[in-house]
Structure 1
Amino acid sequence: MPENNTVRILANQPAANRLVGDMTRRGFFSIAGMVGGTVLLAACSSGGGTGGGAKPGPQATGGKLESSLSMYSWGDYDAPEVLAAFTKELGPKLTVDSFGSNEELIAKLVAAKGTGGYDIIVPTGVYIPQMVQNNLLMKLNKDLIPNLKYMDPAYLSRGWDKNNDYSICKAWGTTGFVYDKSKITRELKTWNDFLDCAQKEASGKTSVLDDPAEITGMYYWANGVDWNTTDDAEIDKCEKFIVETLAPHIAAFDSYPGSGAIPQSAHTLIEVWNGDARQGILASDDPDKWQWVLGSPTTELWMDNWAIVASAPHPEAAHAFINFVLTPENQIKNVDYIGYHTGAKDIEATARKDGLEMLDLVFFTPDQLATMKDGEVNSAQTRTVDIYNKAKAAAGA
């Protein structure tokens, strides 16, 4: 991130203080219509926090584990048996609260002067540089995380944290869509197909992710435009299409269709993250009627990460928990439960050996991976959120 480039993380304060239940597992979704106060994180030079930074808490040295541990994460994002086993085997009582967006996570930390009492958090990768620069994250003591050896190097050393000093891959995924083959008889293969079908046979029966970047992303991905563009002309074209052409056909903005819309057949065309698609299809009474499509010609790649709050009150337990979930036996339990690749070494081979279902929605070929692009937090974010708000208004949402 360039120096002196201010990044606006937008969220109103009531929303920042709300704990969300079974919400989305990740996203760039800015909550509550962007009405009210704002939280500003400045991408400044190293060591120069700009307010909201936490005073450093006690550091982990390998001492006795504290009796409790608090995690702030995406909803329903860990296998319950793994969470229970941590407490049973190591002792600390674990409590988990859920947020619905990275913006909400950051706003909560800033409003609480850096902690809110939380130890472990799960931010998406592109937000980590701003969080580090604003002193919101603790530098990991990797001597206390020897199970890092079980991670595939391909999912470490990402651009936002080259040395994994502050974060370790928790899970990663991508965006595509599903459609009901009993209602849509033509084959859909691309984002252009999705957008065309939404205006035709799926009009009024289309659901999109409740996330600004995903809504604008569809247009950019379909039209060969970099979805991180800051070009006003391209953004104007996107706004015109999304708000005026597509939005009137949208029935719902839903970031978690896997728990409802897919198994309930509430819509016939649904934009969805891969793990949620898998969960919804497996829960459906008629799974064969649903067709998953990886968005093409391009789509996104996102990665959520284990991280520890700079002022975490229980740093020993936090390190112990991260080390615990990185074991191969716990990694495969989480893959099966959440339906996302956890970045663990040889995890695909293990999943196939264990007979996990629908693994084409979890693991992707090199050619598919080449079509997935990281997102960015950049100067276009405010426009992206504005388009999202206008689209919801035009759809009557």
Structure 2
Amino acid sequence: MTDSSDQIRALVPTTLARHISRRGFLTGLAAAGAIPALAACGGSSGSSGSSGQPSASSGPASSGPAQLGSSLSVYTWGAYDNPKTFTNFTGALGPKVSISSYDSNPEMIAKLVSAKGTSGYDIVVPTGPYVPQMAANHLLMELDHAKLPNLKNYDPAYLDKPWDRGNKYSVPKDWGSTGFVYDTTKITRPMKTWNDFLAAAQNEASGQTSVLDDPDEFVGLYFFAHDMSWTTTNQSDLKKCQAFLVDKLAPHIKKFDAYPGSGGGMPKGEYTLMQAWNGDARQGFLAVKNASQYKWVLPGPASHLWIDNWSIAAGAPHPDAAHAFINYVLDPGHSLLEIEFIGYNTAIVGTEAKAKAAGLKYLDMIYFTKAQVAELQSGAVNSATQTHVSILNAAKAAAAG
């Protein structure tokens, strides 16, 4: 039987030495000794500069219905929700919402572990593979589905995932994938696969390529291109992956950039070829002067499927308000506000038609076809995760050299 402390050590890194990107949900996981180190820095802030504690309200004060109370505390990724969602919720149902942010799943988990059920947070937003270990270590409260009638609005394809059968502890917030964008004026041949990406990176886009500053997405370049499981723990395969990415690809990389779209690299014309998450890539298309110059590709033969989730923290002081908020955002109309802001699919049926009617652009970067979704693969937290971190660090050193 696995000791619970071993499970926690697998979830929380020994150190968060580098800034962990929004989608870097497996970054920096390391071995033993994690809890003492992170318990001491549990108050570290997220990207928004929050103290990590419930902070200023995003909506007007209201006493709200008695059963919901007057407040709700949400602990989530920085800039990951439409502010209108919170103000509208307060106006409709009463609880005043406070927001605190974090940069990674490990940071959020460390805070909950150190608080031992007294964090003061109601809602947290873990990525799928973290849910089972968090539940096993009593960091999450079981959801009361009777208080979530809008569960009926979900596309069932995104429910009942292996990490949370029956959605006992989590329901989808949004989901996305990883692809690439290229400048068609500099790469004139058709680009459809990860092999195309790797070939162009070493040729037409040499020195003008950005890759995600995320260890799992980075090693995914190799494994997806070779049509291999990207969660493999086979040491021989991992060594071959490292040899290619560090020795052959890294010298051609201009930058490890988690946000080439919204971060400004694409709008400024800094790159010819960019590995990117679909929502961030869409932000780049919205910001660039000549969008027709670029093309987005969700490449074959496979790519990443990630799902972030609404969950309620164990010891949540306002569980009824938390259920009410989650149910609120599962309404298609309210969900559309989130999609408009973040550019990721919320898995709520009916939002695509509403998005079209609202005139949202680049919907193909939000709503994938069934064939595309069928090729996506989930990630995992396993014994290879730290190896991924080592490969990324070695590649950075090689690129800098």
Smaller-chain TM-score range? 0.7 to 0.9
Distance 1:85 1:36, change over 3 A: same
The partner residue of 1:317 within 302, 314, 321 is 321
Paired residue for 1:132?
135
Q: Structure 1 vs Structure 2: percent identity of aligned residues? A: 51
Which structure 2 residue ranges, 5 or more long, are not aligned? 37-41, 43-64
| CA shift for structure 1 position 136 | 0.6
* 1:83 match: secondary structure: helix
- Tell me whether 1:232 sits opposite 2:235 in the alignment: yes
| CA shift for structure 1 position 370 | 1.5
Distance 1:4 1:77, change over 3 A: same
Paired residue for 2:162?
159
* 1:271 match: secondary structure: strand
Q: Which amino acid aligns with 2:133?
A: Q
Which structure 1 residue ranges, 5 or more long, are not aligned? 41-51, 53-61
CA offset digits 1:318-352 (Å, max 9, x no partner) = 11211111111111121222111101123223323
Distance 1:204 1:30 in 2: 25
Distance 2:16 2:230 in 1: 30
- Tell me whether 1:250 sits opposite 2:256 in the alignment: no
Paired residue for 2:122?
119
* 1:258 match: secondary structure: coil
Paired residue for 2:288?
284
Distance 1:34 1:160 in 2: 21
- Tell me whether 1:168 sits opposite 2:171 in the alignment: yes
- Tell me whether 1:347 sits opposite 2:351 in the alignment: yes
| CA shift for structure 1 position 92 | 2.1
The partner residue of 2:372 within 358, 368, 372 is 368
Contact 1:25 1:77 in 2 (8 A): no
| Number of aligned residue pairs | 370
- Tell me whether 1:337 sits opposite 2:333 in the alignment: no
Distance 1:63 1:139 in 2: 22
Q: TM-score, normalised by structure 1?
A: 0.86
| CA shift for structure 1 position 291 | 0.6
* 1:378 match: secondary structure: coil
| CA shift for structure 1 position 14 | 6.6
Contact 2:11 2:130 in 1 (8 A): no
Paired residue for 1:66?
69
* 1:306 match: secondary structure: strand
Contact 1:26 1:304 in 2 (8 A): no
Distance 1:255 1:296 in 2: 21
Distance 1:107 1:15 in 2: 15
Contact 2:21 2:214 in 1 (8 A): no
Q: TM-score, normalised by structure 2?
A: 0.85
Paired residue for 1:44?
none
| CA shift for structure 1 position 3 | 6.0
Tell me which moved more, 115-124 or 236-245. Answer: 115-124
What is the CA RMSD across the aligned residues, in angstroms? Answer: 2.6
Paired residue for 2:106?
103
Q: Which amino acid aligns with 2:174?
A: A
